[in-house]
Amino acid sequence: MNNKNLFILPAAVAALAAGALFTSPASFAAKHAKPAAQSKAAAPAAPAGPAGQTAVATGAPALAAKAWLLMDFDSGEVLASANPDEPLPLASLTKMMTSYMVEQALRSGKMKPTDLVTVSQNAWCRGSSTESCMYLPLNSQATVIDILRGIIIQSGNDASKAIAEHMGGGSEQGFAKLMNAEAKRLGMTHTNFVNATGLPDPAHKASARDLAILARAIIRDSADYYPIYAEREFKYNNIKQGNRNALLYTDPTVDGLKTGHTEEAGYCLVTSSKRNGMRLITVMLNTSSANARADQTRTLLGWGFGNFEKATPIQPNTAVANVKVNFGKADTVAAGLGSPWTVTVPRGQQVTTAVQPKADLEAPVAKGAVVGKVVASSNGKPVAEAPLVAQADVERAGFLLRGWQHVRGVFGK
């Protein structure tokens, strides 16, 4: 400290202290980088692929689908895609939103699994071979949980229409409005629902990215009901039907989600698979056959799990940085991660981290409070972030100490 600062009058200190109650020091910022324990030389950037295709690792497969996408479940990052934002007919993939809305109504208590749903003339399926049916009898009632299984496993149009009328104020159109509101909330920006089934309509479309966002929401938000998506068959009204997702029968790591097919949409499939602690979501739109959608998905999953891995940028219970605290009894607080953190990156790529503390953080600070964030990057691209939390309490300083801290800030100390 310069000697001239020693001769500031107490009155001046008091005046400055009063000012400190209403002002704050300049913004504080810092960065911290730490390589992952398993870091190796960075992989080269991915070459340009087919038109509309992007990937964050080399050698993404060329797939026979109008649009496709591979997403990491944990971070929501798109690992590879082709035409991910083109709105396309989606057939019965629509029912993912129908089932999601049922699941969230059950989760919130707005409906109970044992609530009864009436099958109207409009919802009733007449047994046509041109559409998927749960085969609910006309004017009968079924429980919500049976309806949910009929939507997910049997892809029942009748089940979808019946629950849509039940939840949509008596009309499927009313339910479609609720579907679109939920899509907007989830961030599905290239989607428009007209009905609860996916039956053809020129205005009824969604993008591959949006469907991956929806699949991720189902897995994340519907833990109590997500196991239904892996069930291979369901019997109702003495009619047993099998799940049309062929991968459920051939790949034990696959546990969902939904198939779809109309002439306009082609053969579609949204799938989730978990291997060695890493979950990937795939979307396949407009393939040529049921076998093609399964084969293309197998190829994409194989490439994804073969080319990406989980990395731990920072070990848990590790102090990452000392974050500056204004007007506290301590000038800084040790900060770290509040919970274990992993990211998905191309195999062998280096992972670095950068700490971004909150600017102008003031005491009091409670242990566990968010005081910034840590951003993980791979090959120069941000791939994930995690909250930075205080590892101790910092009490607010008394009046005189706050005043002295303000004086020290004014004079550059």
Q: Dig out the tokens for 206 from the structure.
A: 């969604």
The answer to whether the peptide bond before residue 113 is cis (omega within 30 degrees of 0) is no
**Sign of dihedral through CA atoms 398, 403, 404, 408?**
positive
- Residue 401's φ and ψ, nearest 5 degrees, are -65, -40
Round to whole Å and give the CA distance between 68 and 283.
5
95, 161, 205, 258: the active-site residue: 95
* Candidate list 34, 66, 92, 377, residue with the active-site label: 92
140 annotated active-site: no
Copy the structure tokens of residue 214: 């929806």
CA distances from residue 103 to 201, 226, 371 in whole angstroms, order as listed: 25, 9, 35
Annotation marks residue 92 as catalytic: yes
41's CB contacts (< 8 A; 6+ apart) are 348, 350
Q: Rounded distance, CA 87 to CA 285, Å?
A: 10
- The residues with which 319 forms a beta bridge, in sequence order, are 336
Which listed residue (99, 155, 273, 377) is catalytic? 155
Please tell me whether the peptide bond between 186 and the residue prior to it is cis, using omega within 30 degrees of 0. Answer: no
In contact, 286 and 67? CB cutoff 8 Å: yes
Q: How far apart are CA 215 and CA 270, in angstroms?
A: 8
Q: Give the C-alpha separation, 60 to 195, whole Å.
A: 35
What are the C-alpha distances in Å from 66 to residues 84, 86, 211, 281, 301?
10, 9, 14, 17, 17
Alpha-carbon span 11 to 285, nearest angstrom: 74
Annotate 41-78 with DSSP letters as a single string: SPPPPPPP-STTEEESSS-PPP-SSSEEEEEETTT--E
Helix 95-108 to helix 157-167 angle (10° resolution) is 50
Give the catalytic positions in this structure: 92, 95, 155
